[in-house]
Amino acid sequence: MPGEGYPFNWSIRGWLEGEASSLDRIGDVSGFAAPVADFICALQRIDATDGPGAGAHCFYRGAWPGHYDDETRRSLAVVDGHIDTVRAAAVWEAALEATWHGPPVWFHGDIASGNLLVRDVRLAAVLDFGTSGVGDPACDLVMAWTMFSGDSRETFRRVVDQAPATWARARGWALWKALIGLAEDIDTNEERAVVNRRIIEDVMADHDRAA
């Protein structure tokens, strides 16, 4: 029942010790990137037969990123003058053109620092499968820019072993999320705006290298 400061029904199926991941809790970031990538690969190997296809139930994770085209373009208009929106638009166009042609696989849908449990500076569990489903795995690669950089990003990229077109769509997912965050925070929360600007810059640089 609602309680302990949480207003909704909730349950604990099995308690897992640990803390949400953060750069100050995981030690060697490159060493952390490989287990996260291994999890993604293992998830994709699970039989996807009769799994729930991507759609509204998972906020269209695993679907074509074009579902968020209008929202992305509105955000680009809001942040024009704060970032290079011409380069950002090129990233988005490339994501829309890089359609998914492979067999559907399982995706988590929200692999983010708050959903990765750390114990003794190691990955202990992946939490919150509320947006999981079967479809395009590109949405699960966003951690490459939101948490990893340099050697850790390259480790993640190497271990997860995805096609260039999948990375193009992944850049689109990362750009969309960072753009809507920046559009919301540009005049109200400079700390969050700085983080989203950094993600956008990294995504654009990665797109330029891939071109």
In tens digits, what is the pLDDT along the chain, a chain of 211 residues? 999 898 999 887 888 899 999 988 887 888 999 999 999 999 999 999 999 999 999 999 999 999 999 999 999 999 999 999 999 999 999 999 999 999 999 999 999 999 999 998 899 999 999 999 999 999 999 999 999 999 999 999 999 999 999 999 999 999 999 999 999 999 999 999 999 999 999 999 999 999 8
Task: Note the Cα 39 to chain centre separation in Å.
Answer: 14
**Distance separating alpha carbons of residues 187 and 27, to the nearest angstrom:** 34
Q: What pLDDT was estimated at residue 10?
A: 84
Q: What pLDDT was estimated at residue 14?
A: 84
Phi, psi angle pair for 97, to nearest 5° = -80, -25
DSSP 8-state symbol, 65: G
Handedness of CA 23, 10, 192, 180 (dihedral sign): positive
Q: What pLDDT was estimated at residue 60?
A: 97
Of 84, 113, 78, 92, nearest in space to 188 by CA: 78
Which domains are seen in the chain, by residue range? 19-210 (3.90.1200.10)
DSSP 8-state symbol, 162: -
Q: How many CA atoms lie within 13 A of 176 on its CB side?
A: 25
